[in-house]
Structure 1
Amino acid sequence: MIDASEATSTRPYLIRALYEWCTDNGFTPYVAVSVNDSVQVPREYVKDGEIVLNISFDATSSLVLGNDFIEFKGRFAGTARDILIPLSQVIAIYAKENGQGMAFPLGTTKAEASSNPSIKSSVTTREVVSGTPEVKLVKLTSVDSESRANEPNGDPDSPRGPRPTLKRVK
């Protein structure tokens, strides 16, 4: 019998399950990612150290939701780019249309942090008694159009629309 400290993380399984739930219900799955040196995304689209990516079938090519990384090819301003996201950097996965999804704590286990110095310096290590990260359910809500219109690149009439925000539900 495997004890909880030896079990694999639940994060990749939850991400795959919510991705499948989104696609089964006709929703567009988005992931919010905290960007550091281990994340391979177009840096020009990173805002405040984070990026939100559409990972739907229509927006990606060769999508792999693995146990350690999310990998795919995506188009940014018409240019194909290779995307590589360590699962420890995924902040949330949610449906664009209704904001339902799940948020994850940012961090790694002690073992991951000690084995990779670049992650150790840029990611907060978080220990949980059970050995698995704490997971919180969230409802994502859109910011009202007026407040987004006052922000740079916050045009509510843009093709991307207003950017969703996280609201924690306890």
Structure 2
Amino acid sequence: MSQPNPPEFIATPKRPYLLRAFYEWIVDNGMTPHIMVDARSPKVKVPRQFVKDGSIVLNVSMTAANNLLMDNDQVTFNARFGGKAMSIWLPMWSIMAIYARETHDGLNFPLEEYAESMALTEAATSRPTLASVPAADATVSDSETSDEADASDDSNDDEPPPPKPTTRPSFLRVVK
């Protein structure tokens, strides 16, 4: 008699549980929790002007993040950036680390846990690019080559313009 193979056990990801546990540990020890987020996907809703090298670090302390919710699929909260209120939405797979600002003690999350979600996101956001290659028997002058390069640089019309620098007022006004 052969026994049927048991169904494959698929566990839920550990990241949301570890994120909440480390958050609580950091707060209980009087430190400031920060999370590092992979912000390369357009699905991640963060202030894009503060993204550097595809990631952003966010202060998620009780004083900085209002209505913080960490469930198994996402992290959401409201915060102010440069004086402007913004709703933040982070899919769980975008969170790369949590740590205490004061001691840098924390946890980096493995990429493998959400590799499938990240691969689907990267495939959806990547755009193919075309390059012109001269034929083997054709000769191209240097001026024609530079004109083609200049034309390809102007093709990024779908990217938003860089944010304008904000100036702070040199005085404070009390509003009652």
Tell me the TM-score normalized by structure 2: 0.61
How far is 1:113 from its partner? 5.8
Which moved further from structure 2: 17-26 or 5-14? 5-14
* 1:44 and 2:49 are equivalent in the alignment: yes
Deviates more, 1:79-88 or 1:2-11: 2-11
1:106 equivalenced with 2:111 (yes/no): yes
What is the alpha-carbon distance in structure 2 between the residues aligned to residue 30 and residue 40 of structure 1?
17
Show the 5 A alignment for 1:28-107.
28-35=32-39, 36-106=41-111
Give the percent of matched residue pairs that are identical in Structure 1 and Structure 2.
42
**Runs of at least 5 residues in structure 1 that lack an aligned partner in the other structure:** 124-170
For the aligned residue pairs, the C-alpha RMSD in angstroms reads: 2.3
1:23 and 2:27 correspond? yes
Once residues 102 and 17 of structure 2 are traced to their aligned partners in structure 1, the CA distance between those partners, rounded to angstroms, is: 22
- Which residue identity lines up with residue 86 of structure 1 in the other structure? P
CA contact (8 A) 1:38 1:119 kept: no
Q: Cα offset for 1:121? A: 4.3
Q: Which runs of 5+ in 2 are unaligned?
A: 1-5, 127-176
SS state at 1:47 partner = coil
> Could you say if the C-alpha distance between residues 38 and 98 of structure 1 is closer, same or farther in structure 2, counting changes exceeding 3 Å?
same
Measure, in 1, the Cα distance between the counterparts of 2:7 and 2:24.
28
Q: Distance in 2 between matches of 1:113 and 1:14?
A: 19
Counterpart of 2:121?
118
Contact preservation (8 Å) 2:93, 2:118: no
Distance 1:78 1:3 in 2: 53
Q: Secondary structure at the match of 2:13?
A: coil
Q: Which residue of 2 aligns with 1:128?
A: none
**2: CA distance, partners of 1:10 / 1:44:** 31
CA-CA distance at 1:87 after TM superposition:
1.1
CA distance in 2, matches of 1:8, 1:92: 18
Moved over 6 A (4+): none
TM-superposed CA distance for 1:50, in Å, is: 0.5
Q: 1:90 to 1:122 in 2, by over 3 A?
A: farther
TM-score (ref. length: structure 1): 0.63
Other-structure match for 1:8? 12
Q: Distance in 1 between matches of 2:69 and 2:30?
A: 19
